[in-house]
Amino acid sequence: MAGAAHQAPRTGGYGQPMPAFYQQQPAKQPNRFRRGAVAVVAASVLGAGLVGGGVGAWIGSDSTTTAAPTTTSATAAPVADTSAVDVSAVVTKVMPSVVQITVRTGNAEGIGSGVVLTADGRILTNNHVVEGARDITVTFSDGKTAPASVVGTDTGADLAVIQAEGVSGLTAATLGDSSSVRVGDEVIAIGSPGGLQGTVTTGIISALDRDVTIGSERSSDRFSGQGGGVSYKALQTDASINQGNSGGPLFDTAGRVIGINSAIYSPVTGSDGAAGSVGIGFSIPIDTAKEVVAKIS
């Protein structure tokens, strides 16, 4: 079964009173959090016959870690604008462009997020959200649903485009310019962590051009067969990102998508095995995503 763990599932993941969701215990591996680079382990979670608590990626660390990651040099970055942002107004504007993606592979289900690219239903998400899916269902912000199919994928970039069927008049997101993003810029993440659709979190850009690698060591991993996994330069943010946020958008304060949320750093897990946010999340820059979308859609 596709998934991210070898051990038996437990109920009640994410510390949420949602018994319909459960979390599998990630396999313990000697991961390294190196200076200037981050070793990432995929943690796509699927459960037999049930929603698997969300589709995502997490970064593991062990007790031998001796060096913290470097951040982009503050001396080279201009001072961020600290003027007040009306987050609720931005969220109201962009929420219709964010969707929940439910996938079924065999007898298992998982949840991820996505962002609407076109009014007729093209949607951008992570490849690991839809990889190997037999059935895909998109749930829009108004609660309506539609089946979807994969248009194209780029496994190396961990991006995919899907097409929702029989829809029109959708609110397409405005894609921004990630090359203009600065350390300290305020950001807004929206997605479906743990299946909680429309969850909004805020934070800042913590670092730029972070080297992120998602390995493919485990045979049960949804990244298996990719020959070394996935690597990309990421935006790092302290906006809370958890499993189920994968594929969802990271917005700037003007409501433009600047990144696709894809991974988190989680040095420890709870007793239920859930990998939770510790304020270190990673997003694929939207400039990278634009190039991939042009090739695969």
Q: Which residues are catalytic?
A: 128, 158, 246
Query: What does the DSSP 8-state code read for residue 75?
Result: G
Closest by CA to 112, choosing from 124, 95, 94, is 124
By the 8 A CB rule, do 216 and 228 touch? yes
Closest by CA to 282, choosing from 245, 229, 227, 228, is 245
Q: What is the C-alpha to C-alpha distance for residues 97 and 140, in angstroms, rounded to an integer?
A: 8
By the 8 A CB rule, do 189 and 261 touch? yes
By the 8 A CB rule, do 136 and 130 touch? yes
By the 8 A CB rule, do 46 and 109 touch? yes
Using only C-alpha atoms, what is the Rg of the chain?
18
By the 8 A CB rule, do 260 and 212 touch? no
The two tokens of residue 105 are: 């592979």
